[in-house]
Amino acid sequence: MSNYKTSALRTEKMPPGIPYIIGNEAAERFSFYGMRTILTIFMVNYLWLMGDKAGIQMADAEATERFHHFVSLVYLTPVLGALLADLFFGKYRIIMTLSVVYCLGHGALALMGMAGEAGTWLMAGLWLIAVGSGGIKPCVSAHVGDQFGAQNRHLLPRVFNWFYWSINLGAFFSTLLTPWLLEWYGPHLAFGVPGVLMALATLVFWIGRHKFVHIPPGGKQFHRELFSKEGIGAILKLSTIYIFVAIFWALYDQSGSSWVLQARNMDLNWFGVEWLPSQIQALNPILILTFIPLFSYVLYPLVDRVFPLTPLRKIGIGLFIMVISFTLVSIAQMKIDSGEAPSISWQLIAYVALTASEVMVSIVCLEFSYTQAPKAMKSVVMALFLFAVSLGNQVTAQINHFIQVKDPTAELSGAGTEISHGGFDGKTGTDDDIVVTFDKEGSRTELGFHGKEALANIASKISEAAAAQSHTALSAEQGNTILAGAKDPWGNPYQFTLLDRYRMRVTSDGPDGKELTPWDQGAIISISIPTESSPSGFAAFMQKFQPEEAWLEKKKKELGVTTKAEAAKEGPSISTDYFVGGRVRLEGAHYFWFFTGLMLAAALAFMIVAKLYRPREYYHDDEEEAEATSEAIGN
């Protein structure tokens, strides 16, 4: 450490280490957002095909839950990284060490399906990435602030803006590229390329080591400040802000989960190009690149003339803008629930609001958190800010866990056998038994239960009606007309639900007579209509670099699963899949409206907290820790 600078240069210019930090961050964010962009789609569409035989396809709610558990862990590990940096090793050493762990995580994801269980490789890779990426996050943010002293601290807001700009530049390119790589070249390359970029990011950071200011770990000073009245007070004060910021992240990060899953049922033709559902996320970083200078140099100064925009006021306005964003996707989902295929423009406009909210909440809170941290606690406070992201994603993960109704047969397995489950009464040999049949390879071939024959007759009538109207899904009124008077063996009426333009569901409450329990019985009637698209513009250009057949189609052919090409030869078709349990308690538009209401309540409550909050700023080279809490700055 003695060979490095340990205090900020006395200069009014930009610190010399900033370009290396920015370059590192752009490559690292390409890496992280590249794998994050395709994670949900991979778990739903690809993971079940990564072995020697086809497994069970993951449900949307479970994939959403796992996605947010991962993101939550990514933003929880910063607490450990910050403590190690501030107490023992310093920020630079932690960043370098955990970057290697990060690279190993990407390597594990790239190896999925080559050996062993793909699910095991997935979990190992995600854990390593969470430890590596999460551990360096607070250190990188605080490392930026460490480069500045009293003479150039006025440049700090501009650098944090450009720091965020570099993040989104990397995210933009990776969000376009990795879904395309996944579609045409498969998960090995799609997860491998971000790993190469992470290795490059580590190299760039190492090259700049002699340009940086290396603030030594706080050690005893850190311990004293952390448990001092001042340190505890700063953490408690900021925590009141982070509670509301956590709700913001509970909604924001769904752009990588529920929004992607929603996009599958929308018209993805935009500017004459058929986009992949995951690629729509690329709009967010490109909007960030536009909004950062627009807000910083145009909107903020204009508004500030008539309404002083303190950091807390910016955050409060951003929370209300997020309400607008989720209102738009809620309306779009209502259209999907009614059998329409709304334009992806609904999400595009929602992304404009979401990005505006991000600029006013995330960027402002990041800078505000650094200024509010006592001198030896910069990394810890950065970690607390990131912990708010973790908490928000945990909220979303737990909600998605709660809304899933258990499938009582999910854990049954066998090979060339038939297994009976005791059903609601727990006893085999009664009329509520559930029977699962497995082939020699251990794949499920049939699900049997009392009342399936009656359900099959109803599904057949619905299928015939859908085929008669040019293979389009029935409306709720049409479906309920067919079900009129029909009851299951226990006297429960059947219910019809239109899920989207290609899927309908028939359910009954089953032997326990209660709705949304593991004993519900039903069927999903799915319409398959082969489509052909003629690529144009950017899609036609990219076609020059892609193979004739998508990776998923080749994999399905290898495992004996019906491919799109095979389905196209058969023409339009209707299939029926039976289930027991496995539903969700909050689905469709109700799911999005729930989060919209949650955000609105949080934004209203934040107004009170922001009014009562009194800021205090700290910098590394302050000779005295003067309080800065004038009324003009405070609220």
Give the tens place of pLDDT for each residue, 43-83: 999 998 988 777 788 999 999 999 999 999 998 888 787 77
pLDDT at 622 over 60: no
Give the residue, 87 or 77, on which the prediction is more confident: 77
pLDDT at 386 over 90: no
What value does the mean pLDDT take over residues 348-367? 93
What value does the mean pLDDT take over residues 496-501? 95
Nearest to 570 by CA among 620, 507, 528: 528
Nearest to 373 by CA among 145, 158, 214, 220: 145
pLDDT band at 619; cut points 50, 70, 90: low
Output the CA angle 493-584-455, nearest 5 degrees.
35
pLDDT band at 628; cut points 50, 70, 90: very low
pLDDT cut 70: percent of the chain above it: 87
Which pLDDT value is given to residue 219?
65
Which pLDDT value is given to residue 134?
72
Which pLDDT value is given to residue 568?
66
Give the residue, 433 or 568, on which the prediction is more confident: 433
Question: What is the distance of C-alpha 447 from the center of its chain?
Answer: 33
Which pLDDT value is given to residue 534?
58
Characterize the bridge pairing of strands 495-500 and 444-449. unpaired
pLDDT at 209 over 50: yes
pLDDT band at 508; cut points 50, 70, 90: very high
Which pLDDT value is given to residue 250?
97
Give the residue, 272 or 245, on which the prediction is more confident: 245
Burial of 491 (0-12, 13-18, 19+ CB in 10 A): exposed
Helices of type H across 253-363 = 258-263, 283-294, 300-304, 311-337, 345-358
Which pLDDT value is given to residue 114?
84
What value does the mean pLDDT take over residues 355-376? 84
Which pLDDT value is given to residue 395?
97
pLDDT band at 631; cut points 50, 70, 90: very low
**In this structure, what are the phi and psi dihedrals at residue 137, rounded to the nearest 5 degrees?**
-55, -55
33-42, 289-298, 425-434, 556-565 — which is least confidently predicted? 556-565
Give the residue, 134 or 588, on which the prediction is more confident: 588
Residue linked to tokens 């991000």: 358
Contacts of 271 (CB under 8 A, 6+ apart): 537
Contacts of 626 (CB under 8 A, 6+ apart): none
Nearest to 314 by CA among 212, 403, 241: 241
Helices of type H across 469-588 = 476-483, 537-543, 551-559, 564-570
pLDDT at 624 over 50: no
pLDDT at 174 over 60: yes
Give the residue, 158 or 431, on which the prediction is more confident: 431
Contact 215, 620 (CB under 8 A): yes
Helices (H) and strands (E) in the chain — how many of each? 23, 9
Residue 387 token pair: 């912990």
Burial of 530 (0-12, 13-18, 19+ CB in 10 A): middle
Which pLDDT value is given to residue 538?
53
Which pLDDT value is given to residue 635?
42
pLDDT band at 630; cut points 50, 70, 90: very low
What value does the mean pLDDT take over residues 27-35? 85
Most confident of 50-64, 82-96, 305-319: 305-319
Q: How far apart are CA 486 and CA 480, in angstroms?
A: 10
Burial of 484 (0-12, 13-18, 19+ CB in 10 A): exposed
- Average pLDDT of the chain to the nearest whole number: 85
pLDDT at 225 over 70: no
What value does the mean pLDDT take over residues 451-476? 94
Q: How far apart are CA 145 and CA 361, in angstroms?
A: 19
Q: How far apart are CA 422 and CA 430, in angstroms?
A: 8
Which pLDDT value is given to residue 627?
42
Taken in order of first residue, the domains within the chain and their CATH numbers are 18-404+588-634 (1.20.1250.20), 418-580 (no CATH)
pLDDT band at 153; cut points 50, 70, 90: low
Question: What is the distance of C-alpha 607 from the center of its chain?
Answer: 27
